[in-house]
Amino acid sequence: MLIIHKEIIKNYENLYKTKEGYDVIIYAGEEPNIKEFHAHSLILKAQSKFFKRAFTENIQKKEGYFIINLRNSPDVLEILLSYMYCSNDLMKLQSRKILNLLLPSDELEFQFLVKYIQEILVRDHRNFIIENILEIIELTYQKESFDKLWINKFRDDFYVYNEIIIWDNLLKWACGQDPIIQQDINKWNKNEFTMMEKRLSRFIQLIRFYHISSEDFHLKLDRYVWDKFACGSRLMIEDNGKVIYAQPGHKHQNVRAKMTLEGKGVFEWDVIIEKKCDYAWVGVCASENFSFTLFAGYQPTGWVLGSSGDCYNSDSRIFGYCPSFTNGAIITVHLDMDKRTCAFTINGIKYPEVSKRKNLPSKLYPIVSLKYPGLFRIQPH
């Protein structure tokens, strides 16, 4: 049976080489690199939905031959035609040539080959995929069928230690789309988060976040963390940057988050008072002329709400903005960079914009001010 099969393949191979009885002329490429190919309509229709549909329409005929014009590269079309006739082994080709066949195969609706190309790349050209991951992402973005046939399978046995590489490159690709978004997630505004959500939506399910180390996760994915380089000397950071607590001492000190608040849009985050101190303070600060060892509310570039319910800044104090709060309280900060105003929600109850906090600076950071035994946690809202 195998011998008979080989003979049949050989006959088709001879037909492809001799072009005997051809009835189709294909012009492939663009000026000045156009090449003429001869083929048989029966073979083309049997292998490709694109050609089958083309021959049922009013296709041009000249001197008894069907005339088809394609913009595909002549080199690519020659490989595809060879495979249509005699299933030539693609595994002998270099990685780049195999990848270059994928889109043309899809455009010509040669579905079996589309699937086969992806299987070859996943199985035998793993390093090539890793080295060209941005191009791979772009391809899957253009054609949804590719991520079902390719990336999902590829992700199933991709080495765990490369997971953060996949994420880094996916983020780089998404940021590079039009309009371009800077790669520092801490500087994104609300509109940019919305755009990135749309760009990444099809790919998020493919990222195995559980295989990303906690260190990489908090360093590269989580923007709601305290900054150890912008922190009072008596304050300690733990739980991968989410928790700040004060060591014994009598004065308030400050810590700001790594997240930069600038541009346009509304920024929102929560601070949980897990252990209250004698007055707990939550708010925003500017980077200029700000001290981390002096209570934020006494400084001109610090704007904070205290557990007493009062708002403090060196230039103004607002008493009775909201009821006092204590252990377990969740304070949500709403910073509107379009209006340069700030408001707070305390345990689910939202209070109005702080009346004397308008025209805030164009670049701010989340800030808390605490002393022993205070312990606060920051998280996305």
Residue 259 pLDDT = 84
Q: How confident is the model at residue 147 (pLDDT cuts 50, 70, 90)?
A: low
Q: Are residues 215 and 197 in the same domain?
A: yes
Q: How confident is the model at residue 249 (pLDDT cuts 50, 70, 90)?
A: confident
Q: Are residues 239 and 339 in the same domain?
A: yes
* 46 has a pLDDT exceeding 70: yes
- CATH code of 50's domain: 3.30.710.10
* 308 has a pLDDT exceeding 90: yes
Q: How confident is the model at residue 3 (pLDDT cuts 50, 70, 90)?
A: low
* 364 has a pLDDT exceeding 50: yes
Q: Are residues 343 and 254 in the same domain?
A: yes
Secondary structure (H, E, C), 125-180: CHHHHHHCHHHHHHHHHHCHHHHHHHHHHHHHCCCHHHHHHHHHHHHHHHHCCCCC
Q: Are residues 352 and 320 in the same domain?
A: yes
The answer to whether the CB of 295 falls within 8 A of the CB of 359 is: no
Residue 289 pLDDT = 86
Domain extent, residue 369, equals 226-380
Residue 113 pLDDT = 87
Closest CA to 93 of 82, 85, 84, 103: 82
Residue 277 pLDDT = 93
- Per the model's pLDDT, the better-predicted residue between 340 and 193 turns out to be 340
Which of helix, strand or coil describes residue 84? helix
Q: What percentage of the chain has pLDDT greater than the value 70?
A: 88
- CATH code of 265's domain: 2.60.120.920
- Is 103 a domain residue? no
Q: How confident is the model at residue 149 (pLDDT cuts 50, 70, 90)?
A: very low
In tens, the pLDDT along 262-271 reads: 877 888 999 9
Domain limit, last residue, from 200, 220, 240: 220
- Which residues neighbour 215 within 8 Å (Cβ) at sequence distance 6 or greater? 240
Domain limit, last residue, from 67, 88, 109: 88
Which of helix, strand or coil describes residue 269? strand
* Dihedral pair phi/psi, residue 157, rounded to 5°: -125, 30
| Alpha carbon distance, N-terminus to C-terminus of the chain | 67
Q: Are residues 231 and 214 in the same domain?
A: no
Residue 211 pLDDT = 65
Longest dimension (CA), the chain: 98
Using the structure block, give the residue that is written with the tokens 């003979």. 7
- Is 285 a domain residue? yes
Count the domains in the chain. 3
* 157 has a pLDDT exceeding 60: no
Q: Name the strand (E) or helix (H) holding 121.
A: helix 111-124
Q: Are residues 290 and 318 in the same domain?
A: yes
Q: Are residues 235 and 329 in the same domain?
A: yes
Give me the mean pLDDT over the 148-163 stretch: 50
CA angle 101, 105, 110 (to 5 degrees): 145
Give pairs for 339-347: CB < 8 Å, separation 24+: 342/283, 342/284, 342/303, 344/282, 344/305, 346/322
In tens, the pLDDT along 180-223 reads: 888 777 667 778 878 888 888 777 766 766 666 655 655 555 66
Closest CA to 244 of 188, 196, 208, 292: 292
Q: What tokens were used for 289?
A: 């002329």
Q: Are residues 230 and 351 in the same domain?
A: yes
Half-sphere exposure of 117 (CA within 13 A, CB side): 24
Q: Are residues 272 and 351 in the same domain?
A: yes
Give me the mean pLDDT over the 217-242 stretch: 82
Residue 213 pLDDT = 63
- Is 281 a domain residue? yes
In tens, the pLDDT along 57-100 reads: 778 888 889 999 999 999 999 999 988 888 777 888 898 998 89
Residue 206 pLDDT = 67
CA angle 220, 128, 145 (to 5 degrees): 80
Q: What's the rounded Cα separation, in Å, for the pair 172 and 178?
A: 12
* Mean pLDDT, the chain, whole residue set: 84
Q: How confident is the model at residue 159 (pLDDT cuts 50, 70, 90)?
A: very low
* Dihedral pair phi/psi, residue 242, rounded to 5°: -85, -25
* 370 has a pLDDT exceeding 90: yes
Residue 355 pLDDT = 79
Q: What's the rounded Cα separation, in Å, for the pair 366 and 233?
A: 18
- Is 341 a domain residue? yes
Name beta bridge partners: 345: 332, 350
- Is 254 a domain residue? yes
Q: Are residues 290 and 171 in the same domain?
A: no
Residue 35 pLDDT = 95
The dihedral built from the CA positions of residue 200, 206, 210 and 213, taken in this order, carries a sign that is negative
Q: Are residues 268 and 190 in the same domain?
A: no
- Is 114 a domain residue? no
Global model pTM greater than 0.75 = no
Q: What's the rounded Cα separation, in Å, for the pair 305 and 352?
A: 13
Residue 194 pLDDT = 82
Residue 81, classified by CB atoms within 10 Å of its CB into exposed (0-12), middle (13-18) or buried (19+), is buried
Residue 57, classified by CB atoms within 10 Å of its CB into exposed (0-12), middle (13-18) or buried (19+), is exposed
Q: How confident is the model at residue 340 (pLDDT cuts 50, 70, 90)?
A: very high
Secondary structure (H, E, C), 28-83: EEECCEEEEEEECHHHHHHHCHHHHHHHHCCCCEECCEEEEEECCCHHHHHHHHHH
- Is 124 a domain residue? no
Q: Are residues 203 and 304 in the same domain?
A: no
Give me the mean pLDDT over the 93-109 stretch: 90
In tens, the pLDDT along 160-185 reads: 456 777 777 778 888 888 888 887 77
